[in-house]
């Protein structure tokens, strides 16, 4: 009898697992084989080969990821940027135009502004919070709309319901980078998005030891993207598949803990006299707290804040903390702290950062799974030092 389950926590463990188990192995084995015996495939894409994204390790992951977001299909890729670039190059071609949210992950922003134009693909940036301003940016050749679940590093929450309605009204493909939320907190296909993108490097793997990506959603689009990835070559290596598969099993326990810990830390920081401003959608003071509460099951482990004093005091604070590691990236079991102006957003001009509200003194924290009390005690001593 097939297994009976409906909740995400159970899907993380059981969805996509081989049935029957391979030689009884409780954990999915690694198929470290580049090619597989020919069994009569009639199409190139059906030959079994690592680059064609169809080894047993790929297939198990694809089924698990699609189940997690309650949708039809998924594809894993060699990095988050491989998922994003391959997807955009699959659904857009020369002469097409698309709309993108103005405050995007740095790599995505650069790919759109520096690379896509050379393929003859044009774009306009939109304010995700102002649906009324989108229509006049539409062109006869507009094909897609691209947003992020929460912006980095300010944790703004765009009008995601309006994005889906707008896409449906104008026949656009809707895409969302769901890295910051993970399927535990938000499942874009349930809200009508066509494609959900992830840097699995972050929460999905969760252990800061691989780079990987995924695109999840409509089967017809995933097939098209898979064929493009087969040509571009950004397939995920089987050993990285194995690590991602293992990391995924604890996603729900990690993310729920990180949600709670981040909220407690945000509450502590909001009340501290040394803090000027804190950005966390779980706080009632967040301008889009209502919207975030309606859309999300949790507010993530990401927050950003500014001290009353400037950049020097900020640097001193980061140096004085003992637990978080000063590093970019996010979503791992260890807390990471960084100043986006010199790391994740250093590629942006100071003027552009200022226009978006990213001050040089802004601190971004990715909350790990350490004891919340230990992080608060550490922050307290570093703020008072
Ligand atoms: C890290 C990240 C990416 C890029 O992912 P890589 O795995 O580093 O290629 C894309 N989007 C967001 C929101 C990210 O945080």
The number of angstroms, rounded, from the C-alpha of 310 to the middle of its chain's C-alpha atoms is 30
168 assigned to active site: no
**pLDDT value of position 3:** 87
**CATH number at 8-248:** 3.40.640.10
Domain ranges in the chain are 8-248, 252-384
Topology alike, domains 8-248 and 252-384: no
Ligand 1 center to 151 CA (angstroms): 12
Q: Annotated catalytic residue: which of 64, 177, 203, 257? A: 177
Is 146 a catalytic site residue? no
Sheet holding 325-326, edge to edge: 275-279, 302-307, 363-366, 336-338, 325-326
Which residues touch 132 (CB under 8 Å, ≥6 apart)?
none
Q: How far is the CA of 43 from the centre of ligand 1 (A)?
A: 32
Alpha-carbon distance values, 197 to 183, 301, 323, 345, 362 (Å): 11, 18, 31, 20, 26
Q: Are strands 213-217 and 73-77 parallel, antiparallel or unpaired?
A: antiparallel
Instruction: Per residue of the chain (385 residues), give pLDDT as tens.
Output: 788 999 999 999 999 999 999 999 999 999 999 999 999 999 999 999 999 999 999 999 999 999 999 999 999 999 999 999 999 999 999 999 999 999 899 899 999 999 999 999 999 999 999 999 999 999 999 999 999 999 999 999 999 999 999 999 999 999 999 999 999 999 999 999 999 999 999 999 999 999 999 999 999 999 999 999 999 999 999 999 999 999 999 999 999 999 999 999 999 999 999 999 999 999 999 999 999 999 999 999 999 999 999 999 999 999 999 999 999 999 999 999 999 999 888 888 899 888 888 999 999 999 999 999 999 999 999 999 8
pLDDT score, position 380: 97
Task: From the candidates 64, 202, 228, 339, give the one annotated as an active-site residue.
Answer: 202
Rounded Cα distance, 101 and 176, in Å: 10
Q: Is the CB of 152 under 6 A from ligand 1?
A: yes
Predicted local confidence at residue 245, as pLDDT: 98
105 lines ligand 1 (CB under 6 A): yes
Ligand 1, atom 1: nearest CA belongs to which residue?
A: 199
Ligand 1 pocket member 300 (CB < 6 A): no
The rounded distance, in Å, linking the Cα atoms of 214 and 146 is 16
Question: Which atom, in ligand 1's list, is nearest to the CA of 201?
Answer: 7
Cβ–Cβ under 8 Å, residues 101 and 158:
yes
Pocket test for ligand 1, best of 76, 101, 107, 185 (most atoms within 8 A of CB): 107
The CATH number of domain 252-384 is 3.90.1150.10: yes
107 lines ligand 1 (CB under 6 A): yes
Check: pTM over 0.85? Answer yes or no: yes
Q: Catalytic: 105?
A: yes
> Ligand 1 within 6 A of 202 CB?
yes
CB 155 within 8 A of CB 277: no
């Amino acid at each position: 009898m097939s297994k009976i389950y409906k909740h995400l926590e159970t899907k993380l463990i059981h969805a996509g697992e081989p049935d029957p188990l391979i030689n009884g192995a409780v954990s999915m084995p690694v198929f470290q084989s580049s090619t597989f015996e020919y069994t009569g495939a009639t199409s190139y894409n059906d030959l079994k080969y690592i680059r064609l994204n169809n080894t047993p390790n790929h297939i198990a992951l694809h089924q698990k990821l699609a189940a997690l977001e309650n949708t039809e299909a998924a594809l894993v890729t060699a990095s988050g940027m491989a998922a994003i670039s391959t997807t955009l190059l699959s659904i857009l071609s020369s002469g097409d135009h698309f709309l993108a949210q103005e405050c995007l992950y740095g790599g995505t922003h650069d790919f759109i502004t520096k690379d896509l134009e050379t393929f003859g693909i044009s774009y306009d940036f939109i304010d995700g919070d102002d649906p009324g301003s989108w229509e006049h940016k539409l062109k006869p050749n507009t094909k897609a709309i691209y947003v992020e679940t929460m912006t980095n590093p300010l944790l703004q929450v765009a009008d995601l319901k309006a994005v889906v309605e707008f896409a449906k009204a104008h026949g656009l493909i809707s895409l969302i980078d769901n890295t910051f939320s993970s399927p535990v907190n938000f499942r874009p296909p349930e809200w009508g998005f066509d494609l959900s993108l992830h840097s699995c490097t972050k929460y999905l793997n969760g252990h800061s030891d691989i780079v990987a990506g995924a695109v999840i959603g409509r089967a017809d689009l995933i097939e098209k993207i898979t064929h493009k990835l087969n040509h571009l070559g950004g397939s995920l290596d089987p050993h990285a598949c194995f690590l991602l598969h293992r990391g995924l099993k604890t996603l729900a326990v990690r993310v729920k803990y990180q949600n709670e810990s981040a909220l407690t830390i945000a509450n502590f920081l909001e009340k501290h006299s040394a803090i000027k401003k804190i950005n966390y959608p779980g706080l009632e003071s967040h301008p889009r707290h209502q919207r975030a509460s309606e859309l999300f099951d949790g507010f993530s482990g990401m927050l950003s804040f500014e001290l009353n004093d400037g950049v020097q005091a900020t640097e001193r604070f980061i140096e004085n903390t003992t637990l978080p590691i000063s590093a970019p990236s996010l979503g791992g079991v260890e807390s990471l702290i960084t100043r986006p102006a010199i790391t994740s957003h250093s590629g942006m001009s100071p003027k552009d950062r200022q226009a978006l509200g990213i001050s040089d003194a802004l601190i971004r924290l990715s909350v790990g799974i350490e004891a919340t009390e230990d992080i608060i005690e550490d922050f307290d001593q570093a703020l008072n030092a």
